[in-house]
Amino acid sequence: MIKLGIFGNPVEHSKSPLMQNSALKSLGIDGYYDKYLLLDGSQIKKEFLNLGLEGANITVPHKEDAFKNADEIRGIAQKIGAVNTYVKENNKVIAYNTDGLGFIKAIEEFGDIKNALILGAGGTARAIAVALKDANIEVTIINRSRKGRLEFFEELGCKCYTIEELSSSVTQSLSTSVPLIINTTSAGLKDDYLPIPKELLVTLMKNAQFAFDCIYGKITPFLALAKEMDLRYKDGKDMLLFQGVLALELFIKQPIPPTTIEEMDRCLK
């Protein structure tokens, strides 16, 4: 029996167990996927091994700690500096990041995007920024503070601002040149907050076309504002689906057929 799971804080809201357990059943694999509340991210590798897991997903706020604690980092995760997937291989913890590619798949329906604005500078923002840059999309980052976070994005070639650094001219320029605004913060997950002040967000959304919130399963204040301003919007359901498909392929070391992906998708509706 294969034992899988997800670590996070909070994690009680996660639909990953429902999605992944349906996939295991569809594939006829003897296994179970559970969720684990983890308070101290520095203990993630120890907990992963103590629980006897073969694979795990990692959600906020532990993606960077998971990167630091892994025995080996593979693929795009090496550039991101944050991981969302652990796989046990020969008693070693191998780490990957499927968030970025999952995001790119989720926004395919938006068409040909040339510029994107990311709100937040955590592990999910890193994954999305790297994936967007790899797709030749220009990226701007807005974060509430620097605190050692924006250097990564500046080295990646992104334009970076704190809220305090945004002059009216810069804000106006962004509002006319960025069609896609992405919220990667936890604002709206357990509260009614916006990721940045409302007046600033309204200005940025005035000429935008699309809004994407990595939070899934609810209309967050960010998406509610996007709807009010007639933007086409999506929550993070499809990103969750596609990153989950990629992670499951790493767990079971085989491709996931379309019929199973459809089963996974139905669990998220």
Query: Within 13 Å, how many C-alpha atoms sit on residue 103's CB side?
Result: 28
Whether 63 is catalytic is yes
- In angstroms, rounded to a whole number, what is the distance separating the alpha carbons of residues 171 and 177? 10
Per annotation, catalytic residue among 15, 35, 63, 79: 63
Facing residues of 213 across strands? 183
Quickly list H helices, the chain.
16-27, 44-50, 63-69, 77-80, 99-106, 123-134, 150-156, 168-177, 198-205, 221-228, 237-252, 258-267
- In angstroms, rounded to a whole number, what is the distance separating the alpha carbons of residues 129 and 127? 6
Tell me the backbone φ, ψ of residue 67, rounded to 5 degrees: -60, -45
The widest CA-to-CA distance across the chain, in whole angstroms, is: 59
What's at 129, amino acid-wise? A
Tell me which residues are annotated as active site.
63
